[in-house]
Structure 1
């Protein structure tokens, strides 16, 4: 199981969270990655934790003020990127262009989607993984794996019907080791979470709980 912690734009110390994640990953052998804002990728990567970008723009080199180029995040230490998070949605053609840019720089890719139908469409674009995240559960107290388990199993089935080589993650409300275990038992290959770690008083303790079933 892959655990990807998205720090979004939360008022947290990304280096402290990353250092905790690096320690837990090293001690337990669990795969944990942290996705900070673009400006903090280098500092997070310096902790030794697997570091991801929250987004890369569908642009080539050139006049694209405000964009985040895939080469820029790769050169500052990111090894992967989220795409099409529900808080940063893209058109299908732009997802495809962002995937091409990310893959040209050797970045691993996860395309987020709201439901199994969108998961199937995202899988057809050939990312490394897709992640189902119902928007209504993001940031809430209920995990998608327990509040709506069918959407996870349906997403796994939808992705597999298109390309069995694409991993399926789930997100929204993931906060505990029990949530991770439930996601695994439903067929997910990993989980995405954010506030449960980023805003925790003790991120390391939360991370240890998250990996405890693995």
Structure 2
């Protein structure tokens, strides 16, 4: 199971969390990646942990002040990017253009969506993975796999119908190893979480609890 930790804009130490993740990855042969703020990407990548951007803009080189050119996080050491998180929603056209930008920069992609119907639409654009995240459960500590497991099952089915090569991740409320196991049993290939690690007093212990 792939575990992607989104640090959002939480007041945490991204390097401390990245170092903890790198240690857990090595000690337990886990598959963990960290998505920090753009300004922290290089510092996080320098720890050796797989590093993702939280977003890349649907732009090419040019006059785009304030945008995140896909090549910038790639040059800083990122290997993938989130797109269309519930806190940074985009139109399908913008997602498609951001996917093109990520592909141009050699970044892997995960497109987030709220429900199976949106997951199907996102899958049709050809990302590497999609993540189903009902926004009402984000940050609650109640995992979607527990609150409404049919959303995860239906998302997996929707992806299989559109493009079975696309991985499906489960997000929103994931915080324990039990949540990860439940997501896997429902057919997910990975999980996307944030506060369960970013707000933890002991990030290493929180990460170990996810993979044990």
Which structure 2 residue ranges, 5 or more long, are not aligned? none
Task: Determine the C-alpha separation between the residues in 1 that align with 2:147 and 2:21.
Answer: 27
Task: Determine the C-alpha separation between the residues in 2 that align with 1:172 and 1:140.
Answer: 8
The alpha-carbon deviation at position 134 of structure 1 amounts to 0.1
The alpha-carbon deviation at position 141 of structure 1 amounts to 2.1
Query: For 1:186-201, what aligned pairs fall within 5 Å after superposition?
Result: 186-201=186-201
TM, length-normalised to structure 2:
0.99
* Cα-to-partner distance string for 1:63-116 (whole Å, 9 max, x where unaligned): 101100100000000000000000000010000000001011110000000000
Task: Determine the C-alpha separation between the residues in 2 that align with 1:125 and 1:26.
Answer: 34
The alpha-carbon deviation at position 39 of structure 1 amounts to 0.3
**2:79 is matched with which residue?**
79
What SS does the aligned partner of 2:188 have? coil
* Runs of 4+, deviation exceeding 4 Å: none
What SS does the aligned partner of 1:170 have? strand
Q: What is the number of equivalent residue pairs in this alignment?
A: 212
**1:104 is matched with which residue?**
104
TM, length-normalised to structure 1:
0.98
Task: Determine the C-alpha separation between the residues in 1 that align with 2:37 and 2:84.
Answer: 15
Task: Determine the C-alpha separation between the residues in 1 that align with 2:178 and 2:132.
Answer: 18
**1:167 is matched with which residue?**
167
**2:26 is matched with which residue?**
26
Which structure 1 residue ranges, 5 or more long, are not aligned? none
**2:202 is matched with which residue?**
202
